[in-house]
Amino acid sequence: MIIALNNKCNLTREEFLKYQEKLENMKELPPMILCPTNLYLGEFRLSNMKLGAQNVSSKGCGAYTGEVSASQLKSIGVAYCIVGHSERREYQKETDQEINEKIKQLLKEGIFPILCVGETKEERERNLTTKKITEELEEATKDLTDQEKQQIIIAYEPIWAIGTGIIPTNDEIKEIMTTIKEVFPNNKVLYGGSANESNIDQLKEITEIDGYLLGGLSLKPENLKIFLEKLKN
Ligand code: PGA
């Protein structure tokens, strides 16, 4: 089971260090992937976790002010990187082509991409969920070899479920997971979007889920611990 923690743009440095200490002291936690804000990547000290970034430049090193390249991430120990998160697609207007370029940069450095795909509420209501997700996956993995494709962890995150406290029904999630796995049978597929300690009993019945991408819950270590205990039992 893969558990990735997406801190998004949260915590001051002091808060991050305290947060990290708290996680380190919670001894029985399973191995997870922590994706802090870029600024704190170099502060990562957790013995039982792998380091992930939340974004990467679609270009290599060079005259790209404000960007961070895959080789730079690699040089400080980043092993995973989220790409194509719906917040970046919306606010930074990230295109499928850029996402494809980012994935190529990451794979060149041996960093595992965590590729996010998902539909809006409107797309779901118009029955366009499968089409949207299939297109996003196709575009993001364009020109990649089968071997390269297998390095990608896919995260299905319905946009309307992110940070809202609302999740799809198990049947709805199952359907999308199955669709993704038909095309990508060798990839791990995560669920993300308001997964928490209250709905994990329901979610864990979905056997197609290989793990979770956690946003809000990642910032609450006590609740996260309950979530992980319920997931295990
Ligand atoms: P959430 O975020 O768990 O707060 O809904 C998940 C994500 O955006 O990756």
- Give the number of the atom of ligand 1 that is nearest the alpha carbon of residue 163: 5
The total number of structural domains that make up the chain: 1
- Give the number of the atom of ligand 1 that is nearest the alpha carbon of residue 155: 9
Question: Per-residue pLDDT for the chain (233 aa), expressed as one digit of tens each?
Answer: 999 999 999 999 999 999 999 999 998 899 999 999 999 999 999 999 999 999 999 999 999 999 999 999 999 999 999 999 999 999 999 999 999 999 999 999 999 999 999 999 999 999 999 999 999 999 999 999 999 999 999 999 999 999 999 999 999 999 999 999 999 999 999 999 999 999 999 999 999 999 999 999 999 999 999 999 999 98
pLDDT of residue 57: 98
| 21 labelled catalytic | no
| 157 labelled catalytic | yes
What backbone phi and psi angles, to 5 degrees, belong to 2?
-100, 125
By most ligand atoms within 8 Å of CB, the mutation choice from 167, 194, 196, 218 for ligand 1 is 194
Domain interval for residue 157: 2-232
Q: Which amino acid is present at 76?
A: I
pLDDT of residue 170: 98
User: What is the torsional sign of CA 142, 82, 207, 29?
Assistant: positive
For residue 71, give both structure tokens.
Answer: 């080789």
pLDDT of residue 18: 98
**Residue that the structure tokens 């990649």 belong to:** 144
pLDDT of residue 116: 98
Cβ-in-10-Å burial (0-12, 13-18, 19+) of 79 comes to middle
Q: Whose CA is nearest to atom 2 of ligand 1?
A: 215
pLDDT of residue 142: 98
pLDDT of residue 13: 98
The secondary element (H helix, E strand) that includes residue 115 is: strand 112-117
For residue 55, give both structure tokens.
Answer: 């974004």
213 lines ligand 1 (CB under 6 A): yes
pLDDT of residue 27: 81
Return the CATH number at 66: 3.20.20.70
